[in-house]
Amino acid sequence: MIAALALILAPLCAQAQGSPQIERGRYMVLTGHCNNCHTAGYAPKEGNVPEKDWLLGSGPLGWRGPWGTTYASNLRLTVPAMTEEQWVQYIKTFKPRPPMPWWSMKETTEQDLRAMYHYIKSLGPAGKDAQPYLPPDKEPKQPYNQAPLPPK
């Protein structure tokens, strides 16, 4: 009887906080370096940012180069706006601007992408949308990282 109940309840519990899938997603986010760009202050503070503030976007910090100026998005808002299926499809086909390493992320297995989705969703929506992208001819406000310009 108890075994039967466990079988019924197991799939329902799989998405609860602290489930193996969510723990896996957290591990993927940490070792995938997402916080280094998508969490304000994470790199300068060598990772000492409370988890409740993770993935809220790069805040004021932009990356400027020949592509213009980009700001790392608030994944706490953009990820839950998609269904799990949409997220998997999106990551397999997306091509954001630099410095987002989309070519590495595309190699993530579907199982791990699903785990990341559930982890990010479990953090809950918070913060505001990232600053909009600026085209190359627009001067961004400080602070920004300037990428080397291509050789003339």
Q: Binding residues for ligand HEC, per CB under 6 A?
A: 32-34, 36-38, 63, 70, 72-73, 75, 78, 96-97, 99-101, 105, 116, 133
Nearer to ligand HEC, 6 or 60 (CB): 60
Separation of alpha carbons 128 and 120, rounded Å: 15
Return phi, psi of residue 69, to 5°.
Answer: -125, 130
**Whose CA is closest to 79, among 104, 100, 57?**
57
**Whose CA is closest to 29, among 141, 144, 134, 120?**
120
Nearer to ligand HEC, 11 or 24 (CB): 24
Nearer to ligand HEC, 15 or 36 (CB): 36
Q: In this structure, are residues 88 and 110 in contact, taking their beta carbons and an 8 Å threshold?
A: yes
| Helix (H) or strand (E) run with residue 69 in it | strand 68-70
The least CB distance from residue 6 to ligand HEC, in Å, is 33
The least CB distance from residue 22 to ligand HEC, in Å, is 15
The least CB distance from residue 122 to ligand HEC, in Å, is 14
Nearer to ligand HEC, 21 or 70 (CB): 70
Separation of alpha carbons 59 and 133, rounded Å: 13
The least CB distance from residue 9 to ligand HEC, in Å, is 30
